[in-house]
């Protein structure tokens, strides 16, 4: 096995390079089945992180994994399942997207959220589960391995227009971040 | 152990104090004797990390469903000319024209094909086209410093650009970043996602830089340093650097075989 190339922080100056038009609009906001996934990225003092970048990767509503190009040049019709959102000056991010479906019968649907920021030496992965199907959440393999008092950090809150998911980088209610084999 | 030091005067620390802190980190790493291949998230000499690193262990997860896939990019997303950062404006940018090329492979050495590579960098004077960069070095109207390409079927990427300059930052007094190019990479699985920085051989700022030194293993740090390659250098046109990238892990692609 070849040793991996190490990560380095995204730094403070990605803002003119990584964002692109409609990066946070996986579907146009006016679409009937569009939902919002949004929240704050907070540091260890509870302050919003104004220079974070989040990436969203998710299944389509029917549970299939999108494999269509076109994320960087959105045509308004193709659902690519991937997007990018920069936090604003208060540390808030917002995606317009579709509700992800279960990728297999009975599975708990989730968004995969990746966090980059100045001050963060490597990206952080987390899952934002949909809160709607209690049975699926109770049966989820990953959630079952997370301490009960931290499980809620992985579950988005339902709202009339979609879901809210805050990311806490540090502290009491620190979000559960994930490490995969081979890291 | 993690010390949270939010002292507002931290930026007035000297390089000597910072270097002493980094030397302590190196000593602690050598004492521990456990190889690290990645930077530390809690590397106190990098001041911005203090309140932004998780203090709890990352939670082990077995990748499933979407984690075993990556978004798909194609010709629709990236125009071939986006890999040449020297032709985005009317004139020739100031600085040393260079080609940087290499292969993106997984842990088994298999090429990562047709995937997106994004880069961004300072100009030859060490200045970014970003409103938060107030370093009083000149902006170059012929250079933005942003490029994209897709890897080819061999996993190879190739950019034409200008060698970036080093620049000061506010981590501590008289802090300077070694010249670098930011790279953003996707693998075949989303879990291979990598954002990193490529450096140039022999930079005298390596030993002084907390971001570079946050990778406490010297061999791992070396993996971020490109090699000057005269076979990449082109006659009367551009110098050439080679930098190969290994994304984490081994990722069989059974679905390809199913087809």
Task: Give A90→chain B minimum CA distance, Å.
Answer: 15
- Chain B residue with CA closest to A125: the answer is B191
Tokens of A115: 């966090």
What is the number of other CB atoms lying within 10 angstroms of the CB of residue B5? Answer: 8
On the question of pLDDT at B252 being above 80, the answer is no
Task: Judge whether A99 and A63 are in contact, CB under 8 Å.
Answer: no
Residues 6+ apart with CB under 8 A from B241: B98, B99, B100, B101, B200, B226, B227, B228, B229, B232
Q: What is the pLDDT of residue B10?
A: 63
**Residue A110 main-chain phi, psi, to 5 deg:** -150, 160
User: How far, in Å, CA of B164 to CA of B95, rounded?
Assistant: 8
Flag the least confident range among A44-48, B120-124, B214-218, B251-255: B251-255
Q: What is the pLDDT of residue B132?
A: 82
Q: Residues of B with CB below 8 A from A125's CB?
A: 61, 191, 193
Residue of A72, A117, A177 with shortest CB distance to B52: A117
Residues 6+ apart with CB under 8 A from B99: B158, B159, B160, B161, B232, B233, B234, B238, B239, B240, B241
Q: Residues of B with CB below 8 A from A72's CB?
A: 73, 76-78, 116, 148
Categorize the per-residue pLDDT at B217 as very low, low, confident or very high, splitting at 50, 70 and 90: very high
Q: What is the pLDDT of residue B9?
A: 58
Region B89-114 average pLDDT: 96
Region B205-234 average pLDDT: 98
Q: What is the pLDDT of residue B1?
A: 39
The conformation of residue A169, written as its DSSP 8-state character, comes to -
Low-confidence ranges of chain A (pLDDT < 70): none
Enumerate the H helices of A34-171 as residue ranges. 134-138, 141-144, 148-151
On the question of pLDDT at B11 being above 80, the answer is no
On the question of pLDDT at B211 being above 50, the answer is yes
Q: Residues of B with CB below 8 A from A169's CB?
A: 51-54
ipTM attached to this prediction? 0.97
On the question of pLDDT at B256 being above 70, the answer is no
Domains and CATH numbers, chain A: 14-168 (2.60.130.10)
**Residue A98 main-chain phi, psi, to 5 deg:** -115, 155
């Amino acid at each position: 096995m070849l040793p991996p190339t190490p990560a380095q922080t995204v730094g403070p100056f990605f803002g003119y390079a990584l964002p692109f038009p409609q990066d946070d609009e996986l579907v146009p906001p006016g679409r009937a089945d569009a939902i919002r996934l949004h929240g704050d990225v907070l540091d260890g003092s509870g302050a919003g992180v104004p220079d974070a970048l989040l990436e969203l990767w998710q299944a389509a509503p029917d549970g299939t994994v999108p494999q269509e190009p076109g994320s960087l040049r959105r045509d308004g019709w193709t659902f690519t399942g991937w997007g990018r959102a920069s936090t604003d000056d208060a540390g808030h991010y917002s995606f317009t997207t579709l509700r992800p479906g279960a990728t297999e019968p009975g599975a708990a649907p989730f968004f995969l959220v990746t966090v980059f920021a100045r001050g963060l030496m490597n990206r952080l992965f987390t899952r934002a589960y949909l809160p709607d199907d209690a049975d699926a959440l109770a049966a989820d393999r990953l959630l079952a391995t997370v301490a009960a008092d931290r499980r809620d950090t992985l579950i988005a809150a339902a709202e009339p227009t979609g879901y809210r998911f805050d990311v806490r980088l540090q502290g009491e209610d620190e979000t559960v971040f994930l490490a995969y084999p081979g890291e | 152990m993690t010390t949270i030091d939010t002292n507002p005067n931290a930026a007035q620390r000297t390089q000597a104090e910072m270097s002493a802190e980094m030397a302590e980190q190196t000593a602690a790493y050598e004492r521990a004797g456990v190889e690290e291949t990645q930077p530390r998230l809690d590397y106190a000499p990098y001041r911005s990390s203090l309140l932004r690193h998780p203090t709890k262990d990352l939670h082990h997860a077995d990748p499933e469903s979407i984690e075993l896939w990556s978004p798909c990019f194609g010709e629709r997303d990236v125009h071939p000319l986006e890999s040449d950062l020297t032709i985005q404006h009317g004139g020739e940018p100031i600085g040393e024209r260079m080609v940087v090329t290499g292969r993106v492979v997984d842990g088994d050495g298999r090429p990562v094909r047709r995937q997106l590579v994004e880069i961004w960098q300072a100009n030859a004077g060490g200045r970014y086209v970003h409103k938060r960069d107030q370093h009083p070095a000149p902006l170059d109207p012929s250079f933005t410093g942003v490029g994209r390409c897709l890897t080819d079927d061999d996993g190879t990427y190739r950019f034409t650009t200008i060698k970036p300059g080093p620049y000061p930052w506010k981590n501590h007094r008289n802090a300077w970043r070694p010249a670098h190019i930011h790279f953003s990479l996707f693998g075949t699985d989303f879990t291979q996602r990598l954002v990193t920085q490529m450096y140039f051989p022999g930079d005298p700022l390596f030993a002084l830089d907390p971001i570079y030194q946050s990778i406490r293993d010297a061999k791992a740090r070396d993996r971020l340093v490109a090699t000057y390659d005269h076979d990449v250098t082109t006659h009367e046109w551009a110098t050439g650097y080679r930098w190969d990238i290994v994304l984490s892990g081994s990722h069989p692609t059974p679905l390809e075989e199913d087809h």
